Amino acid sequence: MARNGNFVFVGGTEGIGRATALNVAQQGASILLVARSADRGAAAVDAMLTAGARDAAFLKADLSTIAGAAEAATAITAWRPAIDGLMHSAMSAFSGKTVTADRLEFAFALQYLARAIINRLCSDTLAASGDGRIVHLAGAVPYRMAPPDLDDLQFERRKWGFFKAILTTHVEGFLFLDEASRRWSDRPIGLYATGVASTKTKAMQDPAMPLIMRMMGWFGTTPEKSAVNATRLLLDDKRPALKAAIFKNPKAFEPTPFDMPPQEAARLWDITTDIATRKGVHLP
């Protein structure tokens, strides 16, 4: 891993993503921050340069839509011919069921689908580095706690619930990373999720969040503490022995296999391909 290489942080203008990006910037890396707010993006770019980044840039993107995620991926691959690390931490405050412009449930669109689209469209650029690493920020949710209903991913038949929707996206991300490790078995790409405890971020304390989430954020740890494992995953000279793993305990750097149902993972991969294709985005 080139500690002063090229790193992309989707959702890196605030919270844990920003804290991780600052740690990486201190190594003299090139940083690309992808998020919604141009004002926050400009401030974050300045912070990266002050921290020691070789260079830093901001990419404004609407990750709630398929087109927006695909456009972000196109811009990322145009930014550098090779990417050493790609971290996802984007989230947004909401408390009720919201349907996107693509008629997708919002949590699914932002916290699962956008990540999957960007990862797949950037896979060649990650592999070009010789040691590309994808890091998903997530809650260490067991599959049995929130198994996705692959026949009703948009909660059209089931009753929507905030925690059901959010927790399911974490598991969907694990299914993606596990399946990618099989489909990309011959590619130099590590696929990781790092579990974090409740963290005091602006998103967690946003009034649009349910009260219990705001309380969890208020009493949560700092973004800097939650960024420790993600920083190691991006910067360690050698990636973990496991090509794909989750780091469940934020206080320990201990990789564990995802151990997701392979048939479910393969089916979700194909569903993701179909959803994107219907909007004119063709995923490798």
Q: Which two tokens stand for residue 86?
A: 């790609």
Q: Give the torsion through C-alpha atoms of 14, 225, 163, 89, to 10 deg.
A: 40
- Report the distance separating Cα 133 and Cα 123, nearest Å: 10
Residue 224's pLDDT is what?
87
Residue 115's pLDDT is what?
98
Question: What does pLDDT average to over the chain?
Answer: 91
- Report the distance separating Cα 265 and Cα 43, nearest Å: 38
Stretch 4-21: mean pLDDT, rounded? 94
Residue 124's pLDDT is what?
99
Instruction: Give residue-wise pLDDT tens across range 82-127.
Output: 999 999 997 665 567 899 999 999 999 999 999 999 999 999 999 9
CATH number assigned to the domain covering 6-278: 3.40.50.720
Note the Cα 160 to chain centre separation in Å. 23
Residue 9's pLDDT is what?
98
Stretch 238-247: mean pLDDT, rounded? 94
- Report the distance separating Cα 255 and Cα 245, nearest Å: 5
Say if CB 15 and CB 62 are below 8 A apart: no
Instruction: Give residue-wise pLDDT tens across range 135-178.
Output: 999 988 899 999 999 999 999 999 988 888 889 999 999 999 99
Residue 72's pLDDT is what?
98
Secondary-structure breakdown of the chain: helix, strand, coil percentages, each rounded to the nearest 5:
45, 15, 40
Radius of gyration of the chain (CA): 17
> Is residue 284's pLDDT more than 80?
yes
Stretch 269-277: mean pLDDT, rounded? 99
Q: Which two tokens stand for residue 214?
A: 């705001």
Say if CB 269 and CB 179 are below 8 A apart: yes
> Is residue 62's pLDDT more than 70?
yes
CA angle 70, 147, 187 (to 5 degrees): 45
Note the Cα 40 to chain centre separation in Å. 19
